[in-house]
Amino acid sequence: MGEIATSDRQITLFFSSKSKRAKQTLAYAKSEGWPVQEIDILKTPLTGTQIAELAARLDLEVKDLVNQNHPAYTSKFEPHEFSSDDWIKMIRHNPEIMKQPIALRGNITILVETPTDIIRI
């Protein structure tokens, strides 16, 4: 059992409050009448275990959770290969570089590419 609690009755949404796509996704989910637990990764730092669990739930490596095209990444880092622990540290100290929003409901986890993706959950 992971560190992230989920429920079939609500959506847990990990997102950045600065993300336009995240705001649209949140609005879409609420307009559909789904209860949403909001976790703003800029205000509520994720633990290393949570980051690793999100990657595993998405069937991704931790490095694949990093948006290497994000201005916060390109201004601070060069493209490079790091260990999973190093990627986790980078996300923990620079949460804005994490790909998001990520939605969970029960055993389903998706990386939201467009706000309407939330209906897949």
Q: What is the mean pLDDT of residues 69-80?
A: 86
Q: What is the pLDDT of residues 22-69, one digit of tens each?
A: 999 999 988 888 899 999 999 999 999 999 999 999 999 999 999 998
> 3-class DSSP state for residue 12?
strand
**C-alpha span between 120 and 40 (Å, rounded):** 21
Q: Which residue has the higher pLDDT, 80 or 89?
A: 89
Q: Would you say residue 1 has pLDDT above 60?
A: no
pTM over 0.85: yes
CATH architecture assignment, domain 11-120: 3-Layer(aba) Sandwich (3.40)
